Amino acid sequence: MSPTPVYTVGNAKVARVTDCEIDAFTLSDLLPDWGDAHVPLLDRLPMTVSADCQRIVLSIHSCVVWLGCVVWLGGKIILIDTGAGNGKSRPFAPYFDQLSTPYLARLKALGVTPEAVDYVLHTHLHVDHVGWNTRLIDRRWAPTFPNARYLFSAKEYAFFRDPANSDNRHRTSFQTQQDSVTPIVEAGLADMIIVDGQEWIPGFSFHSTPGHSADHASIVLESAGAKALFSGDVFHHPVQVMAPHLLSIFDPERETTLTSRIWALDFAVDEGAMLFSAHFAASSAGMVSKRDGEYSWTFALQ
């Protein structure tokens, strides 16, 4: 396995911590408007689809951020989203059911123990973004990062507290709250925030990018004049950078999602921000550029 790339954003370092990869969806499963006209876009993205170009490869991962100097001089370690987690019962999402991945070993290989994590930041509270919040200890779901504050949207949390929202589409997310979010709240480790663009911890602001979930946030890191955008599920595949209208089956609010996506693309272009996607395969990170009204994507080198 090749070494994990570590990217520099101002005085911060960023690396991906892989939980798993899934290829559960064909292109047209995930992107209902997918058509022959889009096929040439894949020529530049061969590592993001299966060998027969029929199935999309989705990476499920966290990003770890080292902010500032070394820890004993005030530096912080931040995780953004926490993958799907091990040993969790997901009967309605079989690709996340009873996983057993070396996520924590991968984190440790980067020099990060669970106890060293200062903050866990969430773009939203879906099954593949909160799983490693907890792990099974003595048959109870205990916080994986016991010394961290976990920050997420109060509005998103409230959505999953309301039984009126517990329909078929949200059944896995509701189940997820029980083993991966509620234990964090009960342990007193949660800081529920308002997603309105403000900075909740030094260097990190939460920006409203609704459409995919009840109160989806894109997280911006700013350090020494450089910026990075952690876009959560505003995108699932890099073809959506080049063809932003290709919404996924997980984006129920079509116009809202598209508006959020264009905001994220323009932010990345205008600010020169490296974009850390939540699900792109390959390096998951890259740069967006815009020419003659068309966006394009370039993966950061491995």
Beta carbon of residue 154, minimum distance to Zn ion (angstroms, whole number): 20
* Residue 77, strand partner residues: 66
Task: Restricting to residues 127-186, name those near Zn ion by CB under 5 A.
Answer: 128
**Token representation of residue 262:** 């264009």
Q: How far apart are CA 4 and CA 64, in angstroms?
A: 11
Q: How far apart are CA 48 and CA 44, in angstroms?
A: 9
| C-beta closer to Zn ion: residue 76 or 216 | 216
| C-beta closer to Zn ion: residue 83 or 203 | 83
Task: Restricting to residues 98-137, name those near Zn ion by CB under 5 A.
Answer: 128
Phi-psi region of 11 (alpha: psi -120 to 50; beta: other; left: phi over 0): alpha
Beta carbon of residue 7, minimum distance to Zn ion (angstroms, whole number): 21
Beta carbon of residue 60, minimum distance to Zn ion (angstroms, whole number): 7
| C-beta closer to Zn ion: residue 67 or 130 | 130
Instruction: Give one DSSP letter per residue of 80-146, joined into a string.
Output: E---S-SS---TTSGGGTT----HHHHHHHTT--GGG--EEE-S---TTTSGGGEEEETTEEEESST
Nearest to 76 by CA among 24, 12, 167: 12
Q: Are 206 and 184 in contact (CB under 8 A)?
A: no
233 contributes a contact to Zn ion by CB under 5 A: yes
Q: Count residues near Zn ion (CB under 5 A).
A: 2
Beta carbon of residue 234, minimum distance to Zn ion (angstroms, whole number): 10
Q: How far apart are CA 75 and CA 85, in angstroms?
A: 27
Q: How far apart are CA 220 and CA 227, in angstroms?
A: 7
Beta carbon of residue 171, minimum distance to Zn ion (angstroms, whole number): 16
Beta carbon of residue 249, minimum distance to Zn ion (angstroms, whole number): 12
| C-beta closer to Zn ion: residue 176 or 223 | 176
19 contributes a contact to Zn ion by CB under 5 A: no
| C-beta closer to Zn ion: residue 128 or 222 | 128
Beta carbon of residue 138, minimum distance to Zn ion (angstroms, whole number): 30
Positive or negative torsion for Cα 284, 290, 295, 298: negative
| C-beta closer to Zn ion: residue 215 or 233 | 233
| C-beta closer to Zn ion: residue 122 or 227 | 122
Can you give the binding site for Zn ion, defined by CB under 5 A?
A: 128, 233
